[in-house]
Every structure is written in structure tokens, then in C-alpha cells.
Structure 1
Amino acid sequence: MSLDTVVEDIREEARARAEDIRDEGEARAEEIESAAEADADETLENAEQEIERETEQLREQRLSSAKLEAKQKRLEARRDVLGDVREQVEDELAALEGDTREELTRELLEAASTEFDDSEALGASDRSSGQSPQEGGDDVSVYGRADDRELIESILDDYDGYEYAGERDCLGGVVVESDQSRVRVNNTFDSVLEDVWEDNLREISNQLFEQ
């Protein structure tokens, strides 16, 4: 075999080997590229899922916040309505006059008088007969609205030891006190309304808002 033949064989072998290497490189490159594309697709998919989760969480948070805000506004509106109703009732109580006001004031004073000793208030028999109570009890101070002074003083004519002692900022009714027996009774329209309002607030709310 001549030298030229040997050289040519070596060249052919080198070229063949080079082709194999190139083919292997291309195949390897394709594998790497394919794997990279798969990783990229997975990364993109994961990112999209994460974005969806975050978007859903944000949506839920905003929805929850909106619901809470709406609830607060409804509660505020209801409080305003209840406040208006309460104010209207107070105005109507303050505007009572004539026999109705006198009757209520008498009843509230009579109820307050039962908190004191029998000597400080009309006895049951005295009241039924229209006579004045027995004397000798503690002095009892009665306070009321300035506009009700004459009314209260006229009612107190039936009570020995009771006297109108001054004004109270109230819608009506009386506050009755005795230093000797250390008793104080708040029987104003305001206090009665407060008790009635608290006891019936749920029912009032249900009626107003049809719950």
C-alpha cells in the first residue's frame, strides 16, 4: 500500500469521524434545546398558575373588603335611621301637653314616691280618698323640666314634705331625692324611654328593616 493511499484512508477516517461528532453534537444540541424548551414551558405554566392564584387571592381579598365595607355602610345607615326614630320619639315626648302630660307626670312621681318611707309619700288609703299624706316624713326634693314647674308644683300639693327644688335637663317627668334617706329616683321621660328602647331595640330594628 502506497503512502498516498494511507494518507487518503486517514483523511477519510477523519472526515467520517468528524461527521459522527457533528451528528452527535447536533443531536445533543437538539436534546438540550428540547429540554430547555420543556423547562421554559413548565416555568411559564407555573408562573401563569401562580399569577392565577395570586389574582384569585387578590380578587377574594377585594371582594371580602367590599362586602365588609358594604356591611359597615348598611349598619351605619341603620344606626342613622334608628337615631332619627329615637329623636322623633324624644320630640313627641317633649311636646306632650295637657291631661296626657299631667297624667304621666303624676304616675312617674307616684312610682318614685314608693321608693321612700311611707312617711314620705301618700299612703294607699290617703291617695284613694284624695287626702294629704301624713306629716313627719323627710323633706323630699323634686326636680323636673323648667316648662313643667307649674304642673309639678300643682301635683306636689298632694304630697306633704315634697317640694319643687329646681330644673333638670330632661324631656319631662321627675327626679326625686331625699338627703335624709339617701334615696334618688330618676323617673324622667328620658330614663323610661331608655329602658323601653333597650328592651325593644331588636324588635324595633326588625320592624324597621324587615329582618
Structure 2
Amino acid sequence: MSLDTVVEDIREEAHARAEDIRAEGEARADEIESAAEEDAEEILADAEQSVEREIEQLREQRLSSAKLEAKQKRLEARRDVLGDVREQVEDELASLEGETREELTRAVLDGASDEFEEGDDVSVYGRAEDQELIESILEDYDGYEYAGEYDCLGGVVVESDQSRVRVNNTFDSLLEDVWEDNLREISTQLFEQ
């Protein structure tokens, strides 16, 4: 074998080996590129899912927040309406006149007088505008005397030192009791859906 043949065989073998290495390198590069593309697609899909979840959470939060705000505004509006109704009732009680006012004042005074012993000195307080009315009613009661002004819509506050009892039968206190006892029913009638 000649030296040229040996050199040629070595060259061919080196070329073949280089070609195998290059082919292996290209195959490995293709594998790496394919794996990188798969990873990139997986990362992108995960990111898209994450973004969609965040968008859905944000949408749910905003919807929940909007519902809560609407509910709060509805409750505030109901409170305002109930406040207006209560004011109207108070205005009507304060503006009662004539026989109706006298009948109601007598009724609350009779109710309060049940708490006192016969012979007690009883002091009766009432609205300044009702002084004459209360004094005329008290003419029918022994030991009862108009004692002064009490800031209220009407009715009376009655007390006695002997009994150590004080009865608040003002229209205000009666309205408060009725209002609290019937608030649910009032609300239902005003806001039936």
C-alpha cells in the first residue's frame, strides 16, 4: 500500500468521521431545538392559563365588588326611605291637634298612672305647647300637677318621689317601641319585591 493510499484512506476516514460528527451535532441540535420549542410552547400555554386565571379572578373580584357596592347603596337607600317615613310619622305626631291629641294624651297619662299609688304626689312633664291641654286633663287627677316642659313630640313623663317611679309615656318613646317591634314588617311593606 502506498503512502498516498494510506493518506487518502485516513482522509476519507476523517471526512467520514467529521460527517458523522456533523450529522450527530445536527441531530443533537435538532433535538435541543425541538425540546426548546416544546418547552417554549409549554411555558406559553402555562402563561396563557395563568393570565386567563388572573383575568377571571379579577373579573370575579370586580363583579363581587360591584354587587357589594350595589347592595350597600340599596341598603343606604332603604335606610334613607325608612328615615324619611319615621320623620313623617314624627311630624304627624307633633302636629296632632284637638280631640285626637287630647285622647292620646289622656290614654298615655292613664297608662302611666297605673304605676303610682293613690295619694302620691305626682309630677307630670310634657311638651311646652301641650301645657294647657295637660293642665286641663290633670284637673281629673288628684295629686297630679304639671311640673314643666319635656322635649318630646307629645305625651307625658310622669314621676313621683314617694314611689320613686318615673314613667316615660311620650309619643317619642311609644313610637320607638312600635318602630323597633315592627321595623321588619314596615320594611317588608315598603320594599316588597
TM-score category, normalised to shorter length: over 0.9
Alignment equivalent of 1:194, drawn from 169, 172, 176:
176
Q: CA deviation at 1:2?
A: 1.0
The question of 1:172 aligning with 2:157 is answered no
Secondary structure (helix, strand or coil) at the match of 1:75 reads helix
Secondary structure (helix, strand or coil) at the match of 1:186 reads strand
Aligned to 1:147: 129
In 1: Cα distance, 2:157 partner to 2:58 partner: 58
In 1: Cα distance, 2:109 partner to 2:183 partner: 26
What 5-or-longer segments of structure 2 have no aligned partner? none
The question of 1:116 aligning with 2:98 is answered no
Residues 55-74 of structure 1 mapped to structure 2, 5 A cutoff? 55-74=55-74
What 5-or-longer segments of structure 1 have no aligned partner? 120-136
Q: CA deviation at 1:54?
A: 1.3
**CA distances 1:43-85 after superposition (whole Å, capped 9, x unpaired):** 1101111111111111111111111111010000000000000
* Percent identity for Structure 1 against Structure 2: 87
Please, what is the CA RMSD of the aligned residues?
0.7
Aligned to 1:86: 86
The farther-off stretch of 70-79 and 54-63 is 54-63
In 1: Cα distance, 2:183 partner to 2:5 partner: 115
Q: How many residues align?
A: 193
TM-score norm. by structure 2 comes to 0.98
In 1: Cα distance, 2:21 partner to 2:35 partner: 21
TM-score norm. by structure 1 comes to 0.90
Large movers: runs of 4+ above 3 Å: none
* Matched AA of 1:56: E
Aligned to 2:28: 28
Q: CA deviation at 1:196?
A: 1.0
